[in-house]
Amino acid sequence: MLNYIKSLYKFIRRLSGDDLYDLYLMSHKQCSKKHKLMTKKEFYQATLDKKWSGIKRCC
């Protein structure tokens, strides 16, 4: 039951984008050390700029 709640929480975090920075840190550790690591704030801003540069919401 506890595992079920944990995985549900993990799913909701992923769906809402709550864990995006954690994912970025993991990804940065694994494959792109040549790029400068963005701070949380820089990453958040970059994510928003990317997200809202095109048609993201429909009628």
Partner 1 sequence: MKQQINFGIKFGYIMIKKYFKNIVWILVALLGALAFSTVALSRHESINAVWFITAAVCVFMIAYRFYASWIAAKVLVIDEFKKTPAVMLRNDKDFIPTNKWIVFGHHFAAIAGPGPLVGPTLAAQFGYLPGMLWILIGAVLGGAVQDMTALFFSMRRNGKSLGQMAKDEIGVIGGTASLIGTFLIMVILIAVLGLVVVNAMKHSPWATSTVAATIPIAIFIGIYLRSIRTGRVLEASLIGFGLLLLAVFAGGLIDHSQMLRIYFDHDSLTLAWAIIFYGFAAAVLPVWLLLAPRDYLSTFVKLGTVIILAVAIVILQPEIKMPALTQFTNGSGPIFGGSVFPFVFITIACGSISGFHSLIASGTTPKLLDNEKYIPMVGYGAMLLESFVAIMALIAATVLEPGVFFAINSPAGIVGADALGAIQKINAWGFKVTVEEMELLAKNMGETSLFARTGGAPSLAVGMANIFGKAFGSNLLAMWYHFAIMFEAIFILTTLDAGTRVGRFMLQDMIGNIYPKFGQTSWMPSIILSSAIVVSCWGYFLYIGVIDPNGGVNILWPLFGIANQMLAAIALSIGTAILIKSNKVKYAWVTGLPLLWLMIVTTTAAFQKIFSQDVRVGFIAAARDLTDKINIGLIEDNKISVTHQLIFNQKLDAFITLLLLIILWIVVIDMLRISFFKKK
Q: List residues near partner 1 by CB under 8 A.
A: 11-18, 20-21, 24, 27, 31-32, 40-41, 43-45, 47-59
Question: Smallest distance, Å, CB 2 to partner 1?
Answer: 19
Question: Smallest distance, Å, CB 50 to partner 1?
Answer: 7
Cα-based distances in Å from 21 to 5, 10, 38, 58: 22, 14, 9, 26
